[in-house]
């Protein structure tokens, strides 16, 4: 049992230990909430931190945990508490995207946060090889692009995307093939200059990489494109962004509300900013750029699950 805090008359002689005991005592649910009293109590800070702690478990949902659900409710109903929780998150280097019963506390890591994932940690090969770095990043972009094929899918909160590993690979491969055909038709020489491998067209790097390969232990070849996409997908599952449905087509997955938020609020704009930095301004009128084949004669990307063409 926690000892009762000393009476106020002896307060001036309190030791730090007693102060901590006091703070813990304030967690008692019978203690008055900060909502009634204007100042923040240590109990509130503890609860706000607990909420952020829940947010750091991305697969946990408020509907599955009563305490989490109660904290999410409090965040939405008690603005001072919400500000406090936001402050705790910001102090840890986290960006709060949404706090709601459907997503829980959806947080993302700020760039310099300890929670941020760096490419070098994600894949050791990517740290040294620019081609691998590109392929791993592209896998994430392609998964998102197929999960939300039309602009309105990304904007619609109710939309559920569905992707499969083989489908993503087939789709990107088809897009690359069309770029290759176009380059050939225009008579371009796409072979990179030997002394400037960085100038090689990106799609060539993807085309060159094998789609799959046999391994000794029947696992996916980690360097193949399906291996790279498979790694991206399982990473996203661990981030609470995708849910596995079945093993069909190299693994079939559904998106979660958190993934949509993350892509919509952060990732897409970050990539867009980078493109602008390069002097490329991708303009969209808000309509989808993936189009159905004009006459149905051309083959669609197999397994991609989309009746669309790339390009």
Partner 1 sequence: MTTIAHQILAPLRAGLTGVPGVSVPRPGAGPAGDEGLARRLRALACTAPLHDLDARKSNLAGEYAVYGMAELGLAAIDLVTLYMDFDTGADRDQILAKLLPRAAAQAPERPAEEHLRVSRWVLESLINVGSVDRGFRAVYGMFTPDGAYVRHDYDFKLIEEFPGRDGGIYLRATDEAVNVLVGALDTDVASAQIAAEVKLEVLIARGRLADAQLAAEQARYRTVQYAETLRRALDATRRNVRAVDWLNAVPDMIAEALDHVADRYRHETAILTNIRRARDEAEDAQHKRRAAELVDIVKDCIRRHTQLQSRLLEAGPLFRAEQDRQAFATPAARAGTDLYGQLLATTLPLPVEQAGTVVGAFFARGAGFRAPGSVRLCDLVDALLTPPVEREHLGAELPEPDLVATPDDSRFSEEQLEAALQILDLPPDAPRRLSGLLAEARRQDPELPYLLALLAVHAASPPVGVAHRQGEDRLLFAVDDGTPLDDPEFGGADLIVGTAVLREAPRQGHGEPRDKPIGVRSRTSGVADAQ
236 membership: H or E segment, kind and range = helix 225-238
Nearer to partner 1, 34 or 170 (CB): 170
- Round to whole Å and give the CA distance between 171 and 283: 22
Q: Which of 2, 63, 70, 90 binds partner 1 (CB under 8 A)?
A: 63
Nearer to partner 1, 104 or 250 (CB): 104
Q: Between residue 227 and residue 266, which ones bind partner 1 under the rule CB under 8 A?
A: 232, 235-236, 238-241, 243, 246, 254, 256-257, 262-264, 266
Q: How many residues bind partner 1 (CB under 8 A)?
A: 103
* Nearest C-alpha neighbor of 261 from the set 99, 112, 110: 99
* Contact between 61 and partner 1 per CB under 8 A: yes
Piece in contact with partner 1 (CB under 8 A), picked from 1-9, 25-33, 40-48, 157-165: 157-165
For the packed helices 165-185 and 130-147, what is the interaxial angle rounded to 10 degrees? 110
* Nearest C-alpha neighbor of 300 from the set 146, 100, 73: 146
- Round to whole Å and give the CA distance between 242 and 108: 16
Q: Between residue 164 and residue 183, which ones bind partner 1 under the rule CB under 8 A?
A: 172, 175-176, 179
- Round to whole Å and give the CA distance between 148 and 158: 12
* Nearest C-alpha neighbor of 85 from the set 58, 112, 55: 55
Strand, coil or helix: what is 160?
Answer: coil
Q: Between residue 134 and residue 153, which ones bind partner 1 under the rule CB under 8 A?
A: 134, 136-138, 140-142, 144-146, 148-153
CB 86 within 8 A of CB 43: no
* Residues belonging to the chain: 311
Q: Between residue 9 and residue 48, which ones bind partner 1 under the rule CB under 8 A?
A: none
Q: Which of 27, 41, 49, 113 binds partner 1 (CB under 8 A)?
A: 113
Q: Which of 160, 210, 215, 293 binds partner 1 (CB under 8 A)?
A: 160
CB 256 within 8 A of CB 102: no
* Contact between 90 and partner 1 per CB under 8 A: no
Provide the mask over 91-110, with x wherever binding to partner 1 is found by CB under 8 A and - wherever it is not.
Answer: ---x------xxxx--xxx-
Piece in contact with partner 1 (CB under 8 A), picked from 3-11, 78-86, 221-229, 286-294: 286-294
* Contact between 222 and partner 1 per CB under 8 A: no
Piece in contact with partner 1 (CB under 8 A), picked from 14-22, 28-36, 131-139, 218-226: 131-139
* Contact between 290 and partner 1 per CB under 8 A: yes
Triad 60, 62, 63: Cα angle to 5°: 105
């Amino acid at each position: 049992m926690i000892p009762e805090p000393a009476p106020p008359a002896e307060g001036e002689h309190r030791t730090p230990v007693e102060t901590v005991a006091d703070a813990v005592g304030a967690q008692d649910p019978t203690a008055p909430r900060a909502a009634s009293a204007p100042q923040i109590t240590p109990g509130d800070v503890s609860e706000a931190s607990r909420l952020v702690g829940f947010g750091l478990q991305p697969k946990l949902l408020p509907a599955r945990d009563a305490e989490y659900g109660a904290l999410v409710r409090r965040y939405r109903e008690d603005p001072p508490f919400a500000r406090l929780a936001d402050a705790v998150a910001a102090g840890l280097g986290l960006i709060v995207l949404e706090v709601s019963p459907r997503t829980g506390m959806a947080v993302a890591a700020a760039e310099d946060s300890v929670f941020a994932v760096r490419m070098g940690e994600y894949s050791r090969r990517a740290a040294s090889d620019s081609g691998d770095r590109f392929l791993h990043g592209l896998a994430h972009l392609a998964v998102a692009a197929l999960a939300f094929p039309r602009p309105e899918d990304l904007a619609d909160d109710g939309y559920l995307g569905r992707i499969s590993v083989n489908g993503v690979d087939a789709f990107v491969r088809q897009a690359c093939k069309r770029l290759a055909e176009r380059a050939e038709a225009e008579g371009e020489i796409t072979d990179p200059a030997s002394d400037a491998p960085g100038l090689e067209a990106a799609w060539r790097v993807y085309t060159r990489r094998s789609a799959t390969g046999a391994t000794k232990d029947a696992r996916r070849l980690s360097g193949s494109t399906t291996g790279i996409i498979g790694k991206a997908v399982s990473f996203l599952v661990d981030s609470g962004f995708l849910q596995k449905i079945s093993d069909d087509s190299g693994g079939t997955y559904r998106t979660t509300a958190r993934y949509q938020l993350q892509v919509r609020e952060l990732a897409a704009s970050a990539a867009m900013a980078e493109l602008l930095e390069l002097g490329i301004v991708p303009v969209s009128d808000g309509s989808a750029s993936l189009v159905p084949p004009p006459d149905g004669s051309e083959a669609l990307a197999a397994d991609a699950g989309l009746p669309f063409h790339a390009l």
